Homo-oligomer: A and B are copies of this chain.
Amino acid sequence: MPETRAVGQRVKRIDAPRRLTGLERFTGDLRVPGMLVARPVTSPYAHARIRKIDVGAALQVLGVARVITATDLPLWRDPATAPAKSPLASGEAVYAGQFVALVLAETDAAAQDGVAAVEVDYEPLPVVATLDAALDPNSPHIREVQQAGNDEEAAMHNADAATQELEDEPPLAPNVSTSVHFARGDIDAGFAAADAVVELTVESKTVHQGYLEPQVCLVDITPLGDLTVYTSTQAAFYCRARVAETVGLPPQRVNVVPMPVGGGFGGKFVLIEPLVAAVARAVERPVLLHYSRMDDFLAGNPAPDCRISVKLGATKSGDITALASNLVFNTGASAGAPLQIAAMLHGGYYRFPNLEIRGHEVFTNKPGAGAYRAPGAQQATFAIESAVDELARQLDLDPLEFRLHNCAVEGDLRPNGGAWPRIGLKECLEALREHPAWRERESARANGRGVGIAVGGWPGGIEPATAVCRLDSNGELTVVLGSVDLTGTNTAFAQIAAETFDMPSGHIAVTTAPTDAAPFAGGTGGSKITYTVGKAVQRAAEDALRQILAVASEALEASVDDLEMVDGAVRVRGVPGASISLKDIANRTMGFAAKNEPIYGTGSTAIQESAPGFAVHLVEVEVDEVTGVTRPVRYVAVQDVGFAINPAEVEAQIHGGVVQGLGWALYEGMEYDSEGQLLTATLMDYALPRADMAPPIETVLVEVHSEHGAYGAKGIGEPPAIPGAAAVANAIRDAVGVRMTALPMKPEAVAAALRDGSTAAAD
């Protein structure tokens, strides 16, 4: 790669000043004339028929304008057509905290008073609260009335895996929504050939994405019913389509204004927007719904809890011979848990000559599962990387060398038979092998610490996108996009465009436009925005440059071939002084009676091959053998990032991912009781990692260039959030000998395992 001017540089995020000073304006800060504030009445039961809702007293509260229930909204009126994932119940509440009504008032205080005055007559129904209950063929379905959308979505998932479905499959329980089955080779022969076999069953709890800004959406409405949706969404165009479909308008009459997002992590694709839009249409006034923190815990869309059983065998020489696993994911009250991708990753990091993976998603009376930064990957990785580590121990093999020996490289097969493209897993393992933290692991151990490693990978997303690069009147440029900037992507895009013009990225503005004017882009998730939109931005800038050179050619009376872009101006090669600034180009294309057309570059992509990203993490922990408190004291995150457009931002992404991984490992877990009641509905009860819980984090960027991303970039959002839990478990094992199999690994559990000593004894 030749010398670069803008890409590859450490550039401050465009939005850093307003974010760091608290000056960003979020959706919840907006007010529009005539706006009503919505507050939910929530179900105290995890499953109950809604017999009657008495809103009389609520309507007497000064300032309360309306109380909306399912009967007021066309789609919700019939439980069979009610949107499956909607937080508003239709006929029956299917999880504790689901909304049964929304009180709309002139002020938030009045809405809260109104909520207290609504009286609901419930008839409690049987609750399916656990994986085992959900798997039981004798359990009732979690709903009295089935939903069309739910079945459809489940069918879609089944269709994916249907080709490999076995014929002697036992009949599914009523609450099994989806199954997968991948098989390869001869699984029995594989285990027979093994010198050691490890069997583990791991569990992880429901985990909340933990965004700072709860779900929030403001829908403005014109007197003719057209909608403007201001929302903290990761996916403006997807949101537009969903809202339009829900309220029965053509998408052209729904304008989604993607607002700054105060954290999303997969949890803010589309959750509340269709509901708020339907309510605004029903009351013909603008409506703001701003979740409280508790609303978000009760009626959000957290990562699903799951249980994964692994059986893994290998020979003394370190060849893995077989993997047999069973995954159960809890999708809550609506379909959509990440079973498929979890199974793919679980059986995809290594060459498994013989493999059988089965999996089920089950409904329970809990909120529907959502995506969480690398959905399914954390759980799948915790299982496989715990087993790999344990197996290396049993065979007395170096855990890093064991991984290197078996790790997948280009051409190796994933569970579904598809081959990996070029990936950087091996390069990451090799980089960690050379890292002092790994080389000097014995000295850490000598100090009583444990050292654990784990790998994690993400296939990477793709989705078509268009970008615009426009020359402005002052000779600077604006990139116009339809993609939401969650993680600093707009800053990276400014760098990509600036590189084309050989100028610092500060001369490029980046606008995320509302859907009525934006070029199309997919949702911000799946580590795909920099990879797909970035290339579109590069092409748009190149298109703008071509147009600029054509104008300059006329102005400078020189062939385009003799022109070069240097320092933001067009020069004639070898003719000192013969140059034209972008400001002059702007005048020639946008002034009154200007002779040339405006500079408006566009670029599109429809990349077909994703660029999977891999990370290898190392953590050193100290474990207090009395209290069980585990303290991570050193962290090394190695990641193949393709090419780091902005190394500072990439590292920041890695830092965030690592800390979220530590949350999964040690702190976070939504606890439900046997009646489906959430016991951890506040940040006092649900432990998010704080800054003082994070050790120093060293990052190592490996750059295995991708073929399609701008300058070789890959998506880098997901991978750093994946290996953390497994790395910590492996470090605890290394430090104190116990194999922890349930997340989060809280002090009491570690202490209990130490007292029990069973796993350690097996060592």
Q: Which of B252, B464, B480, B594 contacts A472 (CB 8 A)?
A: B252
Which residues from chain B contact A600 at a C-beta distance below 8 Å?
466, 519-520, 602, 604
Q: Given contacts A252-B472, A513-B516, A605-B597, are A522 and B23 in contact (CB under 8 A)?
A: no
Q: Which residue of chain B is the closest to A589 with respect to CB atoms?
A: B464
Q: Which of B25, B252, B608 contacts A476 (CB 8 A)?
A: B252
Q: Which of B33, B464, B519, B608 contacts A470 (CB 8 A)?
A: B519
Which residues from chain B contact A518 at a C-beta distance below 8 Å?
517
- Is the CB–CB distance between A598 and B33 below 8 Å? no
**A606 in contact (CB, < 8 A):** yes
**A726 in contact (CB, < 8 A):** no
Which residues from chain B contact A466 at a C-beta distance below 8 Å?
597-598, 600
Interface 1/0 per residue, A459-496 and B, CB below 8 Å: 00011111000101110101010000000000000000
Expressed in whole angstroms, the minimum distance between the Cβ of A746 and any Cβ of chain B is 38
**CA of A303 to CA of B474, assembled, Å:** 31
**A429 in contact (CB, < 8 A):** no
Question: What total of chain A residues lie within 8 Å of the partner, measured CB to CB?
Answer: 57
Q: Which of B511, B517, B590 contacts A511 (CB 8 A)?
A: B517
Which residues from chain B contact A513 at a C-beta distance below 8 Å?
513, 516-517
Interface 1/0 per residue, A370-407 and B, CB below 8 Å: 00000000000000000000000000000000000000
Which residues from chain B contact A594 at a C-beta distance below 8 Å?
463-464, 606
**A223 in contact (CB, < 8 A):** yes
Expressed in whole angstroms, the minimum distance between the Cβ of A480 and any Cβ of chain B is 5
CB within 8 Å of B: which A22-37 residues: 23, 25, 29-33
Q: Which residue of chain B is the closest to A601 with respect to CB atoms?
A: B602
**A222 in contact (CB, < 8 A):** yes
Which residues from chain B contact A224 at a C-beta distance below 8 Å?
17-18, 23
**A83 in contact (CB, < 8 A):** no
Which residues from chain B contact A237 at a C-beta distance below 8 Å?
473, 590
Interface 1/0 per residue, A583-610 and B, CB below 8 Å: 0000001101111111010101110100
Which residues from chain B contact A283 at a C-beta distance below 8 Å?
none
Which residues from chain B contact A250 at a C-beta distance below 8 Å?
474, 476
Which residues from chain B contact A125 at a C-beta distance below 8 Å?
none
**CA of A589 to CA of B593, assembled, Å:** 37
**A661 in contact (CB, < 8 A):** no
Which residues from chain B contact A606 at a C-beta distance below 8 Å?
589, 594-598
- Is the CB–CB distance between A464 and B516 below 8 Å? no
- Is the CB–CB distance between A33 and B30 below 8 Å? yes
Q: Given contacts A237-B473, A597-B605, A604-B597, are A252 and B478 in contact (CB under 8 A)?
A: yes
Which residues from chain B contact A598 at a C-beta distance below 8 Å?
464-466, 519-520, 604, 606
Q: Which residue of chain B is the closest to A608 with respect to CB atoms?
A: B595
Q: Given contacts A478-B252, A520-B598, A600-B520, are A23 and B222 in contact (CB under 8 A)?
A: yes
**A740 in contact (CB, < 8 A):** no
**A318 in contact (CB, < 8 A):** no
Q: Which residue of chain B is the closest to A35 with respect to CB atoms?
A: B31
**CA of A511 to CA of B253, assembled, Å:** 11
**CA of A478 to CA of B516, assembled, Å:** 8
A–B pairs, 29, beta carbons within 8 Å: A17-B224, A18-B223, A18-B224, A23-B223, A23-B224, A25-B223, A29-B33, A31-B32, A237-B590, A250-B476, A251-B473, A251-B474, A252-B474, A252-B478, A252-B509, A463-B592, A463-B593, A464-B590, A466-B598, A470-B520, A478-B516, A509-B516, A517-B517, A519-B598, A520-B590, A598-B604, A598-B606, A600-B604, A602-B602
